[in-house]
Structure 1
């Protein structure tokens, strides 16, 4: 028994005519007759009393129709309920604070232009917590600087963000044409927290020069580090894009450090077995299109 046979049976019952049922279903009379015959064969019972002028339900047909109507109503309800479910289900995007302060607003704006029916729920957390939420299926995808080393996660590079060594304009190193790594670490440092991608990159670069750093400030907030640098508390190293307004306004100055050119690559990441709705694919494309 097929759902198409049940819809055809219902149409013939309601129209009391194979001809009218064929018109309603945009098919031919022989096709309707064949479908009804197949249905009766599968049931092992006749459903209609046929005459030259019309078809009429017999007792078996009336009993069968009483069962078919609620079944088709339930089927229609299921079909309509989940037809646009993908669009109505919010996408759960996890981002780091750096992403919030740099490219997230533009991404959300571009996504809503062509996906106004889909909401995005944004979770702002540090890298390890975002990884935990993703692995527990509490996030659909994450966008962050750096990368998560987990084989279950698909990593798509988005854009490379240059890092800048930043300090207040009156900092001693800003008066020099350039500084060395050894000179830089002699001053108070304001760094991201241990475990963050940016901090890992900085520590690895310093290790290359056989130098270690003991920052006087550590924070998960890039804004607080920028504020600390603006107030003259020390040097911070962050994506240049975050500090661009302060640089343009003269509130911060970039310190050129010899052979210390760092950049981090943002990645959009999701689980390998993630079911990708059209809205999900659209968001990934918007993120890639918004790179840089």
Structure 2
């Protein structure tokens, strides 16, 4: 028994006339009769009483109609409304920490206004774990900082930020120019944890110069590193956007390190073969038009 047979049976139950049913469905009368015969063979019982020129549902026919009606209502809902129903499902987003702090609020607000029936289910974590979630299909979209690790994914840049060597104004290196990396590494360092986008960029920069760093402090919280630097605990290496107020007020200074600038680009990342619902496409559009922020690197 298939959907088409069920639809023909329901129409015949409504018309109770083979000729009218055939005309309604653009079929021939023998074709309608054939479907009924197939259903009666499949169910093992007559579904209609044929009395004179009229037909009437048998008890078995009424029971089958009841069950078929429920099935076809669900089928009609799926056929006509499934695209709308998908909009009610959460859109799962994984975001790295800096993006979550400085870009995600604007993105989430715009999306909520554009797609009010589609909740965003957001997980904020370090870049390595966001990448793992995307690879395992546990999230639909990743908001990613730094180098995209897997060429299988589609990555589209939407902003960037600088990573600075920051210290208190009375730090021994605060007034020096063109400080060699090796000299900076002799001082206590306050660093983000391994696996974070900021730490990966920092370690890659040192690797280019054949150097390694030992952290005096390690934290998942960049603000904790800012506080440490303000208290004179050492040099913090963090996104400058996080310490914008402290830099503007002169409570922290940017050290003049003789090395290439450290920049993390921000990407929206997704699998190119994954179905993009209208809501997902709207989120991508919003991310790509979001304000780049004061830390955008031209």
TM-score (norm: length of structure 1): 0.79
Secondary structure in structure 2 of the residue aligned to 1:92? strand
Runs (5+) with no aligned partner, structure 1: 23-28
**Map of 1:202 onto structure 2:** 202
Over the aligned positions, Cα root-mean-square deviation in angstroms equals 3.4
**Map of 1:172 onto structure 2:** 172
**Map of 1:80 onto structure 2:** 77
**Map of 1:57 onto structure 2:** 55
**Deviation (angstroms), 1:152:** 4.6
**Deviation (angstroms), 1:276:** 2.4
Per-residue CA distance 1:54-107 (angstroms, 9 max, x = gap): x843457x7545423422322323553672331121122112222222211111
* Cα distance in 1 for residues equivalent to 2:288 and 2:172: 40
Runs (5+) with no aligned partner, structure 2: 39-46, 293-298
Secondary structure in structure 2 of the residue aligned to 1:133? helix
**Deviation (angstroms), 1:117:** 0.6
Secondary structure in structure 2 of the residue aligned to 1:206? helix
- Please tell me whether residue 211 in structure 1 is matched to residue 208 in structure 2: no
1:119-198 to structure 2, matched below 5 A, reads 119-176=119-176, 178-198=178-198
**Map of 1:26 onto structure 2:** none
**Map of 1:284 onto structure 2:** 284
Aligned CA distance change for structure 1 residues 107 and 33 (closer, same or farther; 3 Å):
closer
Per-residue CA distance 1:227-255 (angstroms, 9 max, x = gap): 22222222122222222233234332222
* Cα distance in 2 for residues equivalent to 1:35 and 1:191: 79
- Please tell me whether residue 42 in structure 1 is matched to residue 45 in structure 2: no
**Deviation (angstroms), 1:111:** 0.9
1:8-19 to structure 2, matched below 5 A, reads 10-11=10-11, 13-14=13-14
TM-score (norm: length of structure 2): 0.77
- Aligned residues of 2:16 and 2:56 also touching (Cα < 8 A): no
**Deviation (angstroms), 1:116:** 0.7
- Aligned residues of 1:97 and 1:222 also touching (Cα < 8 A): no
**Deviation (angstroms), 1:178:** 4.8
**Deviation (angstroms), 1:13:** 3.9
Aligned CA distance change for structure 1 residues 50 and 165 (closer, same or farther; 3 Å):
farther
**Deviation (angstroms), 1:112:** 0.7
**Deviation (angstroms), 1:290:** 1.7
Per-residue CA distance 1:151-203 (angstroms, 9 max, x = gap): 55443333232222222233233334553433322322111122333222212
**Map of 2:44 onto structure 1:** none
Per-residue CA distance 1:130-149 (angstroms, 9 max, x = gap): 23333333222221212342
